[in-house]
Amino acid sequence: MAETSPIANLTGGGRLLFSREEAAGMLSLSVHTVARDVRLGRIQARHYGRRVLIPASEILRIAAHGMGAKPKA
C-alpha cells in the first residue's frame, strides 16, 4: 500500500478548492472563524456566486505559518 504525504492528506489528495466547512475541519478552526477571516481578508478565498471556496495553497499557508502570515495579494 502506498503511503500518502501529510500534505496530500491535508489538501484532499489533489483537490484545489475547499468549502469553508472543509477548511475549518482541516485547520481545527470553527466555521465561524474561517468565515470571519475570509470576510476580513485574512484568508484568501474565491467567490463563485454564493459559494466561497478556499484554495489548498491558502490552507497549507495557514497550517505551516499560522494566521500571522500575510496572504499573498
Q: What does the pLDDT look like over 25-56, one tens digit per residue?
A: 999 999 999 999 999 999 999 999 999 999 99
User: Does residue 55 lie in a domain region?
Assistant: yes
- Residue 6: its pLDDT value, please? 54
- The answer as to whether 3 is a domain residue is no
Instruction: Answer whether residue 73 is part of any domain.
Output: no
Residue 23 lies in a domain: yes
CA distance 45 to 43: 6
Q: 73 pLDDT exceeds 70?
A: no
Looking at the chain, how many residues does it have?
Answer: 73
Nearest C-alpha neighbor of 23 from the set 11, 39, 13, 14: 11
Number of domains in the chain: 1
Instruction: Please check whether residue 2 lies inside any domain of the structure.
Output: no
pTM above 0.85, yes or no: no
What CATH number is attached to the domain comprising 15?
1.10.1660
pLDDT of residue 68: 72
Residue 58 is part of which domain span?
8-65
Residue listed under C-alpha cell 484532499: 12
